[in-house]
Structure 1
Amino acid sequence: MASVRRVLDAAYAAAAGLAAASLLLIFLVMMAQIGLRQFGEQLPAADDISAYLCVSTTFFALAATFKRGELIRVGMALDRLGPGARRVAELVALSLAAAMVAYIVFWTAQDTLFSWEIEEMSQGTVALPIWVPKLAMPFGAGLLLVAILDEWVSVLRGTRPSYVLAAEARAASGDFTAEV
């Protein structure tokens, strides 16, 4: 079981790394655009590339953000429940979240596959196959689904969710930045 945990944690970290790389690439594209403007030039498709990278930044960061307890979560009702009722409520909430994210994974995968099948190209100054940047959506959402199911199994086994433990650890250290 420890090897499965290492693989999952590595996948969450790798996706977070891809999100960070996407964010860095947005910065580099924007800086290149600014620099080229000084010489009366433009970086072709800079806006399109930045938009695609924004999507990949968002979707690749979802699983790691969820596991760290940094996604928006309203725990006011859960915090007032006893341990048994809270466990049931967490399982219900995680089940609903898994169902919604599975729906998102299915339809984003369908949309990506359709773009690939019809050989859809971007409309910008540089024609790019649209299915390539769209891949971030089903992969990122799929990893979020895995993370939700990972937490569901943990709660079912009677352990506290990692997102709760992470939020409590931040609060205990006086770090309320994720709560703002």
Structure 2
Amino acid sequence: MHTLYDRLDRISAWVARVAAQFAVVVLACTTLLILTEIVLRSFFATSTNITEEYVGYGLGTMVFLGLGHAVRTGSLVRVDIVLGRLGPGPRRVMEVLTCLVAFVVMAFVVYYMSIRVGRDFSRGTISTTLAATPIWIPNAVVLTGMLVFLLQVFFYSLGLLIGRPLIKEAESIE
């Protein structure tokens, strides 16, 4: 079982890394778009007319595609008021319960988001801006990030159940 788990967990880690790298590319593109808009407005009295819309899409993309990697590396902001006071056994139980709640809530959100993506695609829904972006595209990217997050929560909780170590805290604030 551990060997199968280890293989699947490595694949899961790779998926989270790829999603995070894509988020970094989106960050660079968003930065370039903002800089282009600044130059156009400051020196040429014109605009791309899409910057606000695409920066919003980029922000959603970066947040959701980065979530899975944040889970794997222990980079999510965590409230250590309760967990810091628990011993290793009770803390493991609390972590598993927290993962279970997160998994159920995210699975619910993923289900309805997938319905929305399908509906937007089938109806050909576009944004009401000049860019007329097909809405299913940014929503599908957000859905992908949610699925990556769901996958990471699943493997973390499964790892806890079979005795793998807890996520290490990057740093705690006193």
TM-score norm. by structure 1 comes to: 0.86
State the match for 1:29 in structure 2: 33
Give the aligned length.
169
Q: Is the 8 A contact 1:18 1:60 kept in 2?
A: yes
CA deviations over 1:55-89 (Å, ceiling 9, x no partner): 10111000001111121222332232233222222
Find the residue that maps to 1:91 and give its secondary structure: helix
Post-superposition, which runs of at least 4 consecutive aligned residues in structure 1 deviate over 6 A? none
For the 8 Å contact 1:106–1:138, the answer to whether it is kept is: no
Q: CA separation in 2, counterparts of 1:23 and 1:76?
A: 33
- TM-score, normalising length: structure 2: 0.89
Q: Name stretches of at least 5 consecutive residues in structure 2 with no aligned partner.
A: none
Greater relative contact order structure (CA < 8 Å, 6+ sep): 2
Matched residue, 1:10: 14
Cα distance in 2 between the residues matched to 1:85 and 1:49: 45
Q: Which residue of 2 aligns with 1:110?
A: 115
Aligned-residue Cα RMSD (Å) equals: 1.7
Structure 1 residues without counterparts, runs of 5 or longer: none
CA distance in 1, matches of 2:7, 2:154: 17
Distance in 2, Cα, partners of 1:128 & 1:78: 44
Kept in 2, the 8 Å contact 1:87–1:158? The answer is no
From 88, 99, 104, give the equivalent of 1:99.
104
Q: Name the counterpart of 2:132.
A: 127
1:105·1:142 contact (CA, 8 Å) conserved in 2?
A: yes
Match of residue 138 from structure 1: 143
Supply the distance in 2 between the matched residues of 1:40 and 1:65 (Cα, whole angstroms). Answer: 40
Tell me if the contact between 1:112 and 1:134 (Cα under 8 Å) persists in the aligned partners.
yes
Contact 2:34-2:51 at 8 Å conserved across structures:
yes
Q: Which residue of 2 aligns with 1:152?
A: 157
1:67 paired residue number: 72
| Contact 2:64–2:146 (CA under 8 A) maintained in structure 1 | yes
